[in-house]
Structures are given as C-alpha cells and as structure tokens.
Amino acid sequence: MTFSKSLNEMLTSSNLDSEKLEGLIRIAIAEDLDGAVDVTSVATIPEEQSAVAEFWSRKKGVIAGIPIVCAVFEICGITDYEIKKSDGGVVSHNSLLLVARGQTRSLLLAERTALNFLGRLSGIATLTKSWVDEVADTKVAIRDTRKTTPGLRELEKYAVRMGGGENHRFSLSDAALIKDNHVLAAGGVAKAFKLVKEKFPDLPIEVEVDSLQQLREVVEAGADLVLLDNMSIEECRAAVEIVSGRAKLEASGGLILSNAHAYAKTGVDYLAVGALTHSAPVLDIGLDLRME
C-alpha cells in the first residue's frame, strides 16, 4: 500500500519508516479481526452508513502519534481526516485532536488500533516532558534506553523526542555500549574498550563503569562517553571532577523524577531513563462518534 502524499511527507519529516509502520498497523488490525469480521458492527451498522470520528484528550499531556493515527485510517480506507493538534504539542483536558469522516464500520475498525498507538505514544511523550522540565535549568539531556516494547522501538523513541528527550542508540549495531558482562568476558574494562575500538574504529563507543577507578581507566584509555552505573549523587559529582571535560558522562540506574534535578546538578551530561518507555502510563484519549 502507498500512503497519501501528504502522509508520506509527514512520516518522512518525523523520521518514521512508512513500510515498517504499515506492517505494525496491519498486525494490530489482523489481531483485532482474528481472520473474521467485526461481528458487532456488521450486525448493527448498515454497510454504507457514514459518520464522523473525533479524537479528544481526556487529560492534559503531550501528544505523540497523530501521523500513526492517520496511517491507521488510510489502511482502513479512510482518507478524509483533519489534524487539529500536532505531535509535540501540550494539550489540555478535553482538547480536540483529530477529526475523520467515512464509513462507520471503517471508523470503528480503526478505532482501537488508533487509540492504542496514540495513547501509548502520548503517554511516553508526556512522561518524558516531565523529566525534561524537571532539569530544565541545567545542561543535562534526558535520554531513553533500549527498554522498549518489542516491535515498537522506532515509535516509542519518536515519542521520547516529541516529549523533548533525546534518543540513545536504536540497536546493537549503530553504537557500542560496553557493559559489565562484556568487561568480564574481555578481562577488564580498559581491555574491552581497546578491543571494540580496534574492531569498530568508526562507531561511537560508550563504556559502563561502576566505580571511580574504572572511570579513570577508561578515560585514560581514550573513552569519550562513559555511563556511570548506579552511582550516587556524590559519586557522580566526583566523576565530573575526575573527567574534567575529557569525556561525556551519563548517569544511569537509581534515577527517579524526585532526584533527577540533584543528579543533573552534579554536572553530568545525560540522564539515562528506562522508565520513559517501560513505565509510561497511557494518556487517556477517547474517540467520540457522531452521525452527520
């Protein structure tokens, strides 16, 4: 299937892969239909009946996923829709987000899949913004992790960007992250860094350390990005002093919203927050149907 020109442009500008997105949506719709039909709609709604579907926010939050909703509608045969609120925008309770017109059965077929994507992604964007706002008076950036829902990484990381956060690596191949198990297997943190640097000299390399001594070793070895694993606020502050600008530092582990500002004030460059994607509550969004 080819999406409309305007939707393809929207997806491209959002760095979303239209082919992957179509596959995800078709899986979701197939899951809903389970090889048959929407028995309730077929029984109660005349085939040619038309209606209007309106998406409304039930709570304040940051919207993410409007292009995905449009893609769901197009796959379900609905091409007449009007976007009222764009991704990345903060909406209040009871804000109109999008209006779609078409056959009632098609609108209802699209409803749950569209709401599942929109609520999930908007929840991530909303949670991300709360972290970003918490450290707004510091230089630190809020970054996500690979703790994403299988199959939804591209979309969930997109939602993080819509909330003002930054993306860490997308896969195991676009950057190296040397963790404790790699260090154990390689025989030391400095040796692990050296081996990765020799094998993949052009890739970004981040090294995880759990002590200030390991930090000294990897910085001396030439690491320019170091992850401080489960270090206290005091240890992070000491790490900043040790590095003295020679490498970027990322704090990870033990971070909650209430201590985010304290960690940010230590002088680290990033806070790695897995909760952005693995623990974000769904933003309450509803679809109201009305007859024209």
Instruction: Tell me the per-residue pLDDT of 229-269, one tens digit each, with 9 for 90 and over.
Output: 999 999 999 999 999 999 999 999 999 999 999 999 999 99
Residue 168 CB neighbours (<10 A): 22
* Domains, the chain, with CATH or none: 5-125+280-290 (3.90.1170.20), 133-278 (3.20.20.70)
Q: Which residues on neighbouring strands pair with residue 53, listed in sequence order?
A: 100, 289
The predicted structure's pLDDT at residue 252: 97
Confidence at 2, pLDDT banded by 50, 70, 90:
confident
Confidence at 121, pLDDT banded by 50, 70, 90:
very high
The pairing of strands 80-83 and 96-103 is antiparallel
Confidence at 285, pLDDT banded by 50, 70, 90:
very high
Q: Structure pTM?
A: 0.96
The pairing of strands 141-143 and 90-91 is unpaired
Tokens, residue 233: 């606020």
For 56, residues 6+ apart whose C-beta sits below 8 A from its C-beta are: 94, 95, 96, 97, 285, 286, 287, 288
CA distance 123 to 118: 8
Angle in degrees, CA 58, 62, 66, rounded to 5 = 85
CA distance 153 to 290: 34
**pLDDT of 68-111, one tens digit each?**
999 999 999 999 999 999 999 999 999 999 999 999 999 999 99
Res. 1: pLDDT tops 80: no
The mean pLDDT of the chain is 97
Q: Is residue 250 within 8 Å of residue 230, measured between CB atoms? A: no
The predicted structure's pLDDT at residue 292: 78
Catalytic residue set: 112, 147, 179, 208, 229
The predicted structure's pLDDT at residue 139: 97
**pLDDT of 142-161, one tens digit each?**
999 999 999 999 999 999 99
Res. 129: pLDDT tops 80: yes
**pLDDT of 15-67, one tens digit each?**
999 999 999 999 999 999 999 999 999 999 999 999 999 999 999 999 999 99
Res. 276: pLDDT tops 80: yes
